[in-house]
Structure 1
Amino acid sequence: MKGLFSALLVPYDENGQVKEQGLREIIRNNIDVQQLDGLYVNGSSGENFMLTTEQKKEIFRITSEENNGAVKLIAQVGSINLDEAIELGKYATELGYDSLSAVTPFYYKFTFDEIKNYYDAIIEATGNNMIVYAIPALTGVSVTLEQFDQLFENEKVIGVKYTDGNFFMLERLRKKYPDKLIYSGFDEMLIYGAISGVDGAIGSTYNIHGKLAKQIFDLVQKDEVAKAYEVQHVMNDIIEKVLELGLYQTLKEVLKVKGIDAGTVKKPMSSFDPAKQEAVKKLVEDFNL
């Protein structure tokens, strides 16, 4: 389960329905072109929190079929509706996903005991492994080191997707839990996570430049940190431009330039501004995406 995972993009049509063929093309790009080690399915990059339960299942199914055992699969099933999280967890487990993941429950001010019970309930109902998805900037939930101690008491909690800029906490987690999987979740900070000893990373922009992310990770493993920094500079130049143009919209437009039917974003997100099309083409050309 170590390595680089794409936070899988999902193409939608103008009515908000999943474009199956386009999704299969995005999956193939991640596996065959970007040569990533796995796919993180139905996370933020898949616009998951705007989907129906049936759409989430559809994405899990299509991804499992197209992957056909090629790379590792992690199913993000988190929801503030625990029944839905369990239903999705059972479904992904039946499809053979290598692990589940779940965002910390959000919106309501859940106590830590409630959060821990949420993870334990999903694990008990599915029998599958769990990767905690910690992203406090979006959920408002910060898990302390002592709370991670309690979460990791469940042997089925095998790791964490750590999308946080607190590198002191990351270092403390790495030192205390050398046998747990820690994935870096900030693409623009990949090198810092790699230097801190993470086991891998999960990123949305890897859909278009996964090969660069792998270079960074591999160079750090070889203690060639200066070279890794140079690659991170290039990757961050790309990320900076993508963010300027609109994150998910631009990632999909880049894939379209490459001949992949990446569809549009799910409403209420705004569709891509056609006036920015030339800027996307230039981005693809300038960085050989």
Structure 2
Amino acid sequence: MKGIFSALLVPFDESGDIKEQGLREIIRQNIDKQKVDGLYVNGSSGENFMMSTEQKKEVFRIVSEENKGKVKLIAQVGSINLNEAVALGKYATDLGYDSLSAVTPFYYKFSFDEIKYYYETIINETKNNMIIYAIPALTGISMSLDQFEALFQNENVIGVKFTDGNFYLLERLRKKYPNKLIYSGFDEMLIYGAISGIDGAIGSTFNINGKRAKQILTLCQEDQVSKAYEIQHITNDLIERILDLGLYQTLKEILKITGIDAGVCKKPFEAFNFEKRAEVKKLVSTFNL
């Protein structure tokens, strides 16, 4: 369960329906070209929180079919509706996903006891492993070291997707829990997590830049930090331009230019600005995507 996991993109048509063939092409792109170690399915990058329960299940099914056991699969099942999270967790578990993951419940200001109950319920009902998804910038939930400790007491909580810039907390977690999996969630800060001893990373840009992410992680593990920094600089030049153009829209446009039917983003996301297509073509050429 270690290494680079793409936060899988999902292609939609103009009506918001999943483009099955395009999704299969994106899966193959990640496995065959980017050589990722695994796929993180139905996370933020998959526009999960705008999909119906049936669409989420459809994505889980297609990924499982296309993967055929080649790489590890993590199913993000988190939802503000606990019944949906449990149902999705059972569905992904039956499909053979290697672990579940769940974003902390958001919008309402849930207490930590309520958050703990949420995770324990999903685990107890599915009998699967769990990777906590900590992304305080989007959920408003920042957990302390003691709170992580309370969650980690459950042996089925095998790790955390740490999408947080608090590298002091990351260092403390790494030291205290050497046997728990820690995944970095910020692509642009991968090297700092790698220096801190993370087990892997989960990111949206890995759909098109996974090979460089693997190089950064491997070089840091081999104590070649200066070389890793060179690749992180290149990576961040790319990420900076992608963010300027629109994250998910641009990632899908890059895939389209390389011959993959990556569809469009779900509304209310704006459509890609085709006046910028020449800039995206230049990115593909300049960064050898």
TM class by smaller structure: over 0.9
* TM-score after normalising by structure 1: 1.00
1:277 positional shift: 0.4
Q: What's the counterpart of residue 212 of structure 1?
A: 212
User: C-alpha separation between the residues in 2 aligned to 1:145 and 1:181?
Assistant: 15
**Residues 1:115 and 2:115 are matched in the alignment:** yes
2:36 is the alignment partner of 1:36: yes
Q: What are the residue-to-residue correspondences of 1:246-285 with 2, within 5 Å?
A: 246-285=246-285
CA displacement at 1:60 relative to structure 2: 0.2
Question: Does residue 77 in structure 1 map to residue 77 in structure 2?
Answer: yes
Q: Secondary structure at the match of 1:107?
A: coil
Is 2:211 aligned against 1:243? no
Q: What CA distance in whole angstroms lies between the structure 2 residues aligned with 1:236 and 1:282?
A: 16
Per the TM alignment, residue 206 of structure 1 is displaced from its structure 2 partner at its CA by 0.3
Which residues of 2 match residues 132-147 of structure 1 at below 5 A? Answer: 132-147=132-147
Deviation of residue 35 (structure 1)? 0.1
Structure 1 segments of 4+ aligned residues over 4 angstroms from their partners: none
Amino acid at match of 1:236: N
| Structure 1 residue ranges without an equivalent (≥5) | none
Partner of 2:231: 231
Q: C-alpha distance in 1, partners of 2:237/2:87?
A: 40
Amino acid at match of 2:228: A
1:11 aligns to 2:8 (yes or no)? no
Identity of matched residues, %: 75
Aligned equivalents of 1:283 and 1:199: distance in 2?
Answer: 29
2:191 alignment partner, SS class: helix
| Aligned partner letter, 2:258 | K
How far apart are residue 220 of structure 1 and its match? 0.5
Deviation at 1:50, TM superposition (A): 0.3
Q: How many equivalent pairs are there?
A: 289
Cα shift at 1:177? 0.2
How far 1:128 moved relative to its partner? Answer: 0.2
User: Where does residue 64 of structure 1 map in the other structure?
Assistant: 64
Cα distance in 2 for residues equivalent to 1:144 and 1:267? 35
> Which secondary structure state, in structure 1, belongs to the residue aligned with residue 209 of structure 2?
helix
Equivalent residues in 2 for 1:170-185, closer than 5 Å: 170-185=170-185
- The one-character-per-residue Cα deviations of 1:157-203 (angstroms, maximum 9, x if unpaired) are 00000000000000000000000000000000000000000000000
